[in-house]
Structure 1
């Protein structure tokens, strides 16, 4: 019953956003990303640029293009087998640039866990807790991927204000921010997923991330999405922050 309620509510928001049910069948279409961006739109009426870190197959980029058609989207996806899918799914979008790399706090190569369920791939290993709750995330193998700091890419990534930095990097968000200290002066909003339990080994949990982002000069706006267990425990939440004094 809970799942039926969530699906029905999601479809209502999908239709209210102006997207047709037919568009759900398009490659890369995502109800979850539509819900998150539908909620973001309440707080951010317009964006000039979106930095999409952890793009996967383009789910967020496709939804973002609908809600913010005037924004240039910079999508970063490191997995070599997923990146061509991202390119294919977003090929008809105007104003998108894609990059086959991770963002972090170093430049070079990064050891990475490529998960059979690609959404769960991360620079951090999946925790025993997550494997137990979500068995489809239990299998991964180590690879090496290219990584760069956002600060080193400012000659490529044009920060047209207002700018949203979205991060969905499975516990690696703090490292992305550490590599973007100079860039943050030009970033107006942060959107990232944070955990309340350890879904990945060594990931910073909500309290640590919230305090860290506040120290960087951002203030909390609202939660815009969440992940629940079958027992209705909130495991992760998508949080929206804005730079102070904007």
Structure 2
């Protein structure tokens, strides 16, 4: 099948911005020397937050793209990152290994403690515990090249209750495994004020839950959708995926305080 071209609103501009940002801070420079560029595209999603998070839990950290952004945006936050693949985890450690704010867990979050095979793709940030679907292959040219056995378990296996503060963020980017990660974090969901999650409108990986299922699950857990960012669509307009931010109800601004729609 011929590869489709997914269209991001500002893909080329974003690449230029990332290159420019790579020299702007010590953390960004260190990451860039290892071929890792901070995910500055998430900045608008977090513009509303004036205070740092006490704890940021980054599930699907890859080489530390989001961690680099988060440490600059929220410099006093502690960050616990989960990356199951050995090679990205090694690069992550080379960047953040001496940073006392950061702890890396070389594991995946899943409902049961077990060993599982992860499908490793050519670009390892598309790797998933699920099989690559046809639409993911057509839209992004994603292809699994091997499998790797990884350690998995629920969030409570890796984080102690006392590590949480009063204002905590859960970030999820796990290539179709989002709902399973939320279920595996259920014991701790009430500890989070904010959840930031990449979701898909259509199945990109086999047996994945789509956006409305994630939204429904989080609604029942007391979170409300509060923003959609970084949407990616095909050239003919079909939306594929986006980053969504969910807030506890008490953090939502009343509609009468919104000055523009």
Q: TM-score, normalised by structure 1?
A: 0.87
Match of 1:199 in 2: 204
Q: Do the aligned partners of residues 13 and 129 (structure 1) sit closer, same or farther apart at CA in structure 2, a change above 3 Å counting?
A: closer
Deviation per residue, 1:91-110 (Å, 9 max, x gap)? 35440000110011111212
Question: Using a 3 Å threshold, how does the CA distance of structure 1 residues 159 and 54 change in structure 2: closer, same or farther?
Answer: same
Query: Are 1:132 and 2:138 matched, yes or no?
Result: yes
Report the Cα distance in structure 2 between the residues aligned to 1:114 and 1:165, rounded to whole angstroms: 24
Name the SS of the counterpart of 1:129 in structure 2.
helix
Aligned to 1:155: 160
Residues 59 and 83 in structure 2, CA contact (< 8 A), matched pair in contact too: yes
Say if 2:40 is the partner of 1:34: yes
Gaps of 5+ in 1: none
Q: 1:235 matched to which residue of 2?
A: 240
Higher relative contact order (CA 8 A, sep 6+): 2
SS in 2 for 1:202: coil
Paired residue total: 242
The residue number in structure 2 matching 1:167 is 172
Contact residue 28 and residue 58 of structure 1 kept, 8 A: no
Q: In the aligned structure 1, how far is the partner of 2:33 from the partner of 2:69?
A: 11
SS of structure 2 residue aligned to 1:81: helix
* 167, 186, 194: which one aligns with 1:189: 194
How far is 1:3 from its partner? 7.5
Q: Cα deviations across residues 17-76 of structure 1 (Å, max 9, x unaligned)?
A: x946x8484435436x2111x113222222111100001011110111010001001011
RMSD (Å) for aligned C-alpha atoms = 2.8
Distance across 2 between alignment mates of 1:123 and 1:221:
28
Query: Unpaired segments of 5 or more residues in structure 2?
Result: 1-6, 252-261
Q: 2:230 aligns with which of 225, 233, 239?
A: 225
Distance 1:191 1:4 in 2: 20
Contact 2:8/2:233 (8 A) holds in 1: no
Q: Is the 8 A contact 2:34 2:91 kept in 1?
A: no
Secondary structure (helix, strand or coil) at the match of 1:245 reads: helix
Residues 201 and 239 of structure 2 are in contact (CA less than 8 Å); yes or no, is this contact kept in structure 1?
Answer: yes
**1:41-56 counterparts in 2 under 5 A?**
41-45=46-50, 46-56=52-62
Q: Give 1:105's match in structure 2, choosing from 95, 108, 111.
A: 111
1:3–1:241 distance in 2 versus 1, CA, 3 Å: closer
- Listed as ranges, the matches of 1:75-114 within 5 Å are 75-114=81-120
